[in-house]
Each structure stands twice: as structure tokens, then as C-alpha cells.
């Protein structure tokens, strides 16, 4: 057939032309980034481009497609495309550099030759994105369901058994207030997250004073620190530190980091908020503002650190919920820092406290 490298011709004077045509076809296929191969009407593999040879091996030409493609779903698709002369798609699973890869194989009839062209398209990222979305919806539903179930239960109790008991009523209303607050915080954090994600590609240009924002956060969290018996110190917040940023988002970064430090450190500990400027920082390749929130709390085990910024990831779910956490605070911080082209650095040792540093590009 015309698309085969092994194509031979009886006519000597057209042989040169055919070879040139085959080289051209091979060259064209090799230039295509997606693994592509041709199955001849006999079932043998004809042309295969570079990407396909990388995937299935160099010596596949001339072998029967069943021994190369192997996976039943794909074999069925090729067979159907072959017999019914119509395009058929099938999933093909493989591993590449120890990573699971999902490919979509498009099998299309080649007319008038009678062969099949198989083109593989990498669907891994798409499938992973789908999985992340499904997990996220499942997590949100679960997080909302718990306080909602509690609220419904207490409403029913107040309508029935506790209707005429003022003490129980008071106590149940207190719990209902707490649960409703939890849902409110969760919805608030979800909205923040979606707002930050929506404009993550838009880099802020307005110049703001990070010192002033950090000072405001320190004073607004003084009551929470007092309630938790945590002392807060600050360093370097006196002189202005100008950076291109969204002021509300930066306030949220400082607040989330400070709230965590105060919440998770426990009574009698201390939290420090410090800000310094470096004229030439390797991360920003220029001036940078470095804001650090450090605590003397229990610290975090190294195995959790890389996952802390994932949505709903908590070291101790029960404790986080008890303390009013939504599991979204650090995910929001990470997205805001990304939008500002900065970096979040987490250092911690169990028993020795934690340091969360945000490195942001600063004004020259």
C-alpha cells in the first residue's frame, strides 16, 4: 500500500518517485508530536512516527498490530474501524517515567488504501483535572453536610423535646450558632478561593505598603491572641515597604498565617511577625519583601509540609475543625502568593515551632 515503508512497485521507472513519496510521508509523520501509526489492511504495522516508536519500540514495523497494541479495548476499536470503515476512539493506558499516562487513541480508516491510522492523544492532564474537580465537590459537600446535619438535628430537638426547656434551648442555640458560623466561614473561604483563582493571571500593579497591612493585621488579631494566651511580637513593620500588590489579598495572607500560628500554637506560646527587604533576592531576581510569621508551637512533621497548601488538607482534621478551621486557609495563601509571582516557604520541626515566609517582588 502507498503508506507503507515496505511498499514495492513493479514498475522500475516509478520506484524513485514512490521512495521519495514514502520519505516525504515518513518525514511528515515524524514531525507530528502525537504518536501515530498506520495499520495495513493485512493487520501489519506500516509507518510509525518517532513518537510512536518511542512508545512501542523501534522494531514495530512489519509486526501484527495485535502483538504491539495488546490492550483489548484498543484492539476492539481497531477491528471495528477496520471492518466498519468508520472512526472509533478508545482509551489506552500506559506508564511513562513511572507516571500513569492515559491516552485517547483515534482509529480512523485510510481510504482508498484500506488501512487504519491510529493517533494517540495524551489525556492525562484532562483526566486528572476531572478527578481533582470531583474530589473537590465531594470534599465541599462533606464539609457542608456535617454542620448542616447538626443544625437540622437541633432544630428538630427544639421543635420537639426541648421546646419548653429554656436551659436546653439556650445551649442548643449556642451550638447552632457555632455550626452556622462554620458554614459561613467555609462559604467565605470558597468564595475567596474562587475570586483569587479567577484573577490569578492578572498581576497586580498598584503600589501598596506591606508594613501598614501587616501592622493592621497584628492589631486586628490582638483579641484572638489574647483569648488564646499567645503573645505577638513584630519586627521591621515601622518603615514603609512598597510592593505591587492587591491590598485586600495581602491582608488575607497575613491574617491567615497569623490566625494559624495563634490557633495551632497553644497557650503560653509566642508568635512573631517580621518584615524585611532585600535589594537582590535570588527568587525575584531583584528587590524582594520577605514577610515571616513564626510561632513557638508544636511544629509540623516534615511529611505533611509539601501537602499543607492542598485544599482541605489538615494534619489533624478533628483539631482543625474544633478550632474553626476550614482547611482552605493555606490554599488561599498559596494562590494569592502565586498571583503576586512570589513564593511561600514553610519550615518547621516538630516540637520547635513553624515559620511561614512569603517572598514577594518589591518596588525598586
Contacting residues toward ligand ADP, per CB under 6 A: 256, 260-261, 264, 295, 297, 300, 308, 314-316, 320, 325-331, 354
- Of 172 and 264, which CB lies nearer to ligand ADP in the complex structure? 264
Residue 166: CB minimum distance to ligand ADP, A: 34
Please say which residue, 109 or 327, places its beta carbon nearer to ligand ADP: 327
Q: Tell which residue, 320, 314, 236, has the closest CA to residue 275.
A: 236
Of 153 and 266, CB closest to ligand ADP:
266
Nearer to ligand ADP, 157 or 338 (CB): 338
Q: Which of 157, 192, 187, 185 is nearest to 171 (CA)?
A: 157
Whose cell is 478508545? That residue is 90
Q: Which residue has the cell 512489519?
A: 62
Could you tell me where the beta strands, DSSP code E, fall in the chain? 36-39, 45-48, 88-96, 99-109, 116-122, 207-209, 231-235, 242-244, 270-281, 286-295, 343-348, 354-361
CA separation for the pair 176, 199 (Å, rounded): 35
* Residue 215: CB minimum distance to ligand ADP, A: 20
Q: Which three cell numbers stand for residue 334?
A: 498559596
Angle at 79 between CA 74 and CA 81, to 5 degrees: 95
Positive or negative, the CA dihedral 243, 244, 246, 247 is: positive
Residue whose entry in the numeric block shows the C-alpha cell 421543635: 159
Number of CB atoms found within 10 A of residue 182's CB: 21
* Residue 329: CB minimum distance to ligand ADP, A: 3
Which residue lies nearer to ligand ADP by CB, 37 or 261? 261
Please identify, using beta-carbon distances, which residue of 28 and 222 lies nearer to ligand ADP: 222
- Contact criterion met (CB below 8 Å) for 300 and 354: yes
Smallest separation, CB 336 to ligand ADP (Å): 13
Q: What is the nearest approach in angstroms of ligand ADP to the Cβ of residue 197?
A: 15
DSSP 145-176: HHHHHHHHHHHHHHHTTTTT-HHHHHHHHHHH
Instruction: Return the DSSP state at 240.
Output: -
Alpha helices in 199-209 (DSSP H): none
Minimum CB separation from ligand ADP for residue 256, in Å? Answer: 6
Q: How far is the CB of 28 from ligand ADP (least distance, A)?
A: 51
Nearer to ligand ADP, 211 or 320 (CB): 320
Q: How many CB atoms lie within 10 A of CB 273?
A: 23
DSSP bridge partners of 48: 37
Closer to ligand ADP by CB, 243 or 271: give it. 271
Smallest distance from ligand ADP to CB 338, Å: 15
Question: Could you identify the residue written with the cell 481510504?
Answer: 111
65 vs 264, which CB is nearer to ligand ADP?
A: 264
| Min dist. Cβ of residue 312 to ligand ADP (A) | 8
Amino acid at each position: 500500500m502507498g503508506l507503507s515503508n515496505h511498499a514495492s512497485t513493479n514498475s522500475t521507472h516509478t520506484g524513485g518517485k514512490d521512495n521519495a513519496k514514502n520519505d516525504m510521508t515518513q518525514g511528515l509523520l515524524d514531525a507530528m508530536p502525537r504518536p501515530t501509526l498506520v495499520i495495513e489492511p493485512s493487520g501489519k504495522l506500516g509507518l510509525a512516527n518517532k513518537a510512536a516508536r518511542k512508545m512501542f519500540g523501534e522494531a514495530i514495523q512489519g509486526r501484527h498490530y495485535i502483538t504491539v497494541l495488546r490492550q483489548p479495548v484498543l484492539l476492539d476499536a481497531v477491528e471495528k474501524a477496520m471492518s466498519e470503515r468508520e472512526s472509533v476512539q478508545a482509551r489506552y493506558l500506559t506508564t511513562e517515567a513511572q507516571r500513569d499516562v492515559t491516552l485517547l487513541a483515534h482509529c480512523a480508516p485510510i481510504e482508498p488504501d484500506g488501512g487504519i491510522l491510529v493517533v494517540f492523544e495524551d489525556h492525562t492532564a484532562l483526566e486528572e483535572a476531572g478527578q481533582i474537580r470531583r474530589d473537590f465537590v465531594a470534599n465541599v459537600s462533606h464539609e457542608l453536610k456535617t454542620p448542616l446535619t447538626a443544625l437540622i438535628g437541633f432544630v428538630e430537638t427544639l421543635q420537639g423535646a426541648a421546646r419548653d426547656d429554656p436551659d436546653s434551648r439556650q445551649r442548643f442555640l449556642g451550638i447552632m450558632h457555632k455550626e452556622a458560623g462554620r458554614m459561613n466561614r467555609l462559604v467565605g473561604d470558597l468564595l475567596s478561593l474562587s475570586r483569587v483563582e479567577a484573577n490569578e493571571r492578572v498581576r497586580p500593579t498598584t503600589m501598596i505598603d506591606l508594613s501598614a497591612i501587616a501592622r493592621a493585621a497584628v492589631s486586628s488579631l490582638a483579641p484572638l491572641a489574647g483569648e488564646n494566651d499567645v503573645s505577638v511580637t513584630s519586627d521591621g513593620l515601622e518603615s514603609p515597604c512598597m510592593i505591587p500588590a492587591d491590598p485586600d489579598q495581602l491582608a488575607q495572607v497575613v491574617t491567615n498565617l497569623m490566625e494559624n500560628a495563634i490557633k495551632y500554637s497553644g497557650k503560653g506560646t509566642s508568635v512573631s511577625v517580621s518584615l524585611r527587604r532585600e535589594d537582590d533576592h535570588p527568587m525575584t531576581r531583584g528587590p524582594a519583601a520577605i514577610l515571616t510569621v513564626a510561632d513557638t508551637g508544636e511544629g509540623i512533621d516534615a511529611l505533611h509540609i509539601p501537602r499543607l497548601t492542598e485544599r482541605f488538607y489538615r494534619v489533624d482534621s478533628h483539631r482543625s475543625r474544633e478550632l474553626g478551621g476550614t482547611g482552605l486557609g493555606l490554599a488561599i495563601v498559596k494562590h494569592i502568593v502565586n498571583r503576586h509571582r512570589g513564593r511561600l516557604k514553610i519550615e518547621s520541626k516538630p516540637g520547635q515551632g513553624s515559620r511561614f515566609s512569603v517572598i514577594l517582588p518589591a518596588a525598586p
